[in-house]
Structure 1
């Protein structure tokens, strides 16, 4: 599916300003939408909005459907009458320049719990009616999710295969007893999802009203400790005790000499095929309730994926295994029609991956930081781009452009200076301009590069398990010329029209 020519900014909501330890769906998010519109941008790309997992990564969520409750705007809960002004007073440890997860998480979770109790005790008839409507709208997943999270808390976040065997196997009597025993906490988790979905829907509608569409991110894999693996065990490659026999990752690459052992359970694709890929159809359907465009992370895994023995400590001993290929996307197209998907096709890309992407008209990705290590034939160089691609100076997994340039090899520096006709003094904006000028239909720029920030502001480093995902900016970092310059480049290179 060809996208109209447009550009936008990559910024995860946690990186927004705000008084409660991380960005959220509150006032600052609406201000950011206004800023995007003033900057002539038509796209806002976010990372997965699902709950965070090990290392605070949004790519290791405990659900494929539930949202990250830490993004709920606490001020809106006060407006609804469920929190008091004193509940919103920040506490020690909440940092404006980064997300201090150790302080932010308990602060927000405690306020959510207070709000849930007050709603249960004194919610208005209209509020209760909307809550019941939400539970009905999301009945395909929310009951399993809320019970799963309640059990995880009660079990000290042990892997679900270590729970009482009757619960791990989801025997009806054990499930009913658990629902009764944890009814209060189940209600809490359902309340939090209600507010997440309602707040996000309002923010998305506001963005759409400003001519801005949301690019969301759907990871191909989900965490083992997730509601969906527990609730759909036959769809994953597990042994008789419920433990993974093989796990996901990628072989040694640009980011790691030993590869990346992600540890997610792998799909039992033959079982998905028996059911017409119904679970994946539902997952994609729900993704398009949240987003206008969906970026599918690790798209190459649908053509072939790296299978690592669960006992292996690194990804080096894996092997390539065929994925579902076209059959999955044919099932999705039959159920949902043509869908605007971006295929993250980075890493080891073979002809079958390109063929699968092009068969369904999914634009791929081009990263300018990768363009200068080789020669003029490199596919990441702008003169080799194709219209059905999305070009980035870098993504959340890359260093900032300023950080990349500071560490670039002599070859990269010489090649980039000659290719881009620059002395290298302003590489973040030089790459933004190159992305804007590209023939690629879509150009997206990380906010860190708009602000020309150094490596200390990097969002993530693949393969490193801790210390990431915490970057935040403040409006004091943003000058009027940032928006004006983006708007002028969008005008010069024909990216101011209707968004996809």
Structure 2
């Protein structure tokens, strides 16, 4: 994927897709959405992290930086293989507008366990061979992850620092015993990840065949309760009791008076550097195998990150600490070649962040919802954009364009209305038109804006612990017009086939 080429795309997480099983997944609806994108002239499908969700259903607090989300594994392919009977939905079925993770997750895991049992009982030799070969290829991350999940299941979800000392400390004898005693549970988690990778590869192949590239999302930090932290605690700022001494966050700003205390353990960058950034190379290699490009969340943390004392309940008491800078990206480029990375350079951006982004040759981000708050010198206004950037009407952390319009102050709405020649009825199309007409090489808009949805359909409200990450759409909300108009704007702005203008 060439981020220097003029292109357009849509931001929609996998879980937001329609489907009968309570949550969007990698099944038929994902392939159908690819076809819809291609028909609308779109060449990029951007998703959020596809790793397992963590506290608050957040994809940014995962138990693994490498694994795929079990609830994204589609059930239809398992039925087609004969490993799963057609699923019987819970009484009343699942809702279509929001994901109820408390209901959906255990139900889908039960379906996966049934499929796993059938696979190991009667799968064809060719499927068994493919499974075994895949496990060997992925062993560098898979072995720790599946053992971690087996132990977490055994300990009823308790965090790893509460496990018995031999397991917590990864004593070889204790791990060997666990692998013997939990062989069946380990095998199940291997099967789930194999299914995820197989289905993801099929989706990516279909997308690329239709001229659509997949853009992923890579959180900069990992969760404390994760296979990554348990496997290599020496790479994180933990004390003798395996607890973080300092954690990640961002400082107070106009939106959050106390800042945001994310709570992720911070990296021991000195130890990672001593190993040639091997963990980051492995993580990036996995990301490149799954996507055509990816956004790095909180890119500014590589220049400097906000370090918060673990004892502080808010982020107010934090301070800036220098990050690894260009060294980590030089190591990645040497090992992996050119990196198709979009730098999420939002928030408190200082000259060192800009220098790092430009030194790496990564495009940054421009959010139109940030453009109308002060005056015509605002860097987010389209007439200040540069080609080496990715423009969004908004992201998963923003309100929908219609929700934003309804909530902004009157003076900001007047500025936006004059600039965009828009009002409440068509502001979503005006924002999309402004993004597509920008000189930025890449333009991406959330599916909510394509559908003209109000603020009740937003994906995430930063700083709130619940009620996020659950939005879904249904094809009945779409109809023929959104795709047709999106295609016209894409063609007219030189981001898609000009033939779309001829109908």
TM-score scaled by length of structure 1: 0.98
The residue that corresponds to 2:490 in the other structure is: 490
The CA deviation string for residues 141-169 of structure 1, in whole angstroms up to 9 with x for no partner, is: 10100000111111222221121111111
C-alpha RMSD of matched pairs (Å): 1.2
The residue that corresponds to 2:57 in the other structure is: 56
Deviation of the 1:90 alpha carbon: 5.2
The residue that corresponds to 1:441 in the other structure is: 441
Deviation of the 1:497 alpha carbon: 6.1
How far apart, in 1, do the equivalents of 2:279 and 2:299 lie? 17
The residue that corresponds to 1:18 in the other structure is: 19
State the secondary structure of the residue aligned to 1:217. Answer: strand
The CA deviation string for residues 245-279 of structure 1, in whole angstroms up to 9 with x for no partner, is: 11111111244221111111100000000001010
**Cα pair 2:3 2:442 within 8 Å, conserved:** no
Decide which moves more: 430-439 or 118-127: 118-127
**Cα pair 1:19 1:90 within 8 Å, conserved:** no
How far apart, in 2, do the equivalents of 1:299 and 1:418 lie? 33
**What are the ranges of 5 or more consecutive residues in structure 2 without an aligned counterpart?**
499-503
The residue that corresponds to 1:9 in the other structure is: 10
Task: Tell me whether 1:35 sits opposite 2:36 in the alignment.
Answer: yes
State the secondary structure of the residue aligned to 2:445. Answer: strand
State the secondary structure of the residue aligned to 1:333. Answer: helix
**Cα pair distance change 1:481/1:68, threshold 3 Å:** same
**Cα pair 1:93 1:100 within 8 Å, conserved:** no
The residue that corresponds to 1:477 in the other structure is: 477
The CA deviation string for residues 298-347 of structure 1, in whole angstroms up to 9 with x for no partner, is: 00000000001111111111110000001000000110111110000000
The residue that corresponds to 1:337 in the other structure is: 337
The residue that corresponds to 1:124 in the other structure is: 124
How far apart, in 1, do the equivalents of 2:92 and 2:303 lie? 48
Task: Tell me whether 1:84 sits opposite 2:85 in the alignment.
Answer: yes
Task: Tell me whether 1:283 sits opposite 2:286 in the alignment.
Answer: no
State the secondary structure of the residue aligned to 1:191. Answer: helix
The residue that corresponds to 2:187 in the other structure is: 187
**Cα pair distance change 1:251/1:361, threshold 3 Å:** same
Decide which moves more: 188-197 or 306-315: 306-315
The residue that corresponds to 1:429 in the other structure is: 429
State the secondary structure of the residue aligned to 1:215. Answer: strand
Deviation of the 1:124 alpha carbon: 1.1
How far apart, in 2, do the equivalents of 1:90 and 1:194 lie? 26
How far apart, in 1, do the equivalents of 2:177 and 2:92 lie? 40
How far apart, in 2, do the equivalents of 1:91 and 1:270 lie? 54
The residue that corresponds to 1:65 in the other structure is: 66
The CA deviation string for residues 63-93 of structure 1, in whole angstroms up to 9 with x for no partner, is: 01000010001011111111012x2545435
Higher relative contact order (CA 8 A, sep 6+): 1
Deviation of the 1:106 alpha carbon: 1.1
How far apart, in 2, do the equivalents of 1:70 and 1:424 lie? 37
**Cα pair distance change 1:112/1:451, threshold 3 Å:** same
State the secondary structure of the residue aligned to 2:45. Answer: strand
The CA deviation string for residues 374-408 of structure 1, in whole angstroms up to 9 with x for no partner, is: 11111110011110100001000001111110011
Decide which moves more: 489-498 or 307-316: 489-498
How far apart, in 1, do the equivalents of 2:462 and 2:284 lie? 25
**Cα pair 1:70 1:108 within 8 Å, conserved:** yes
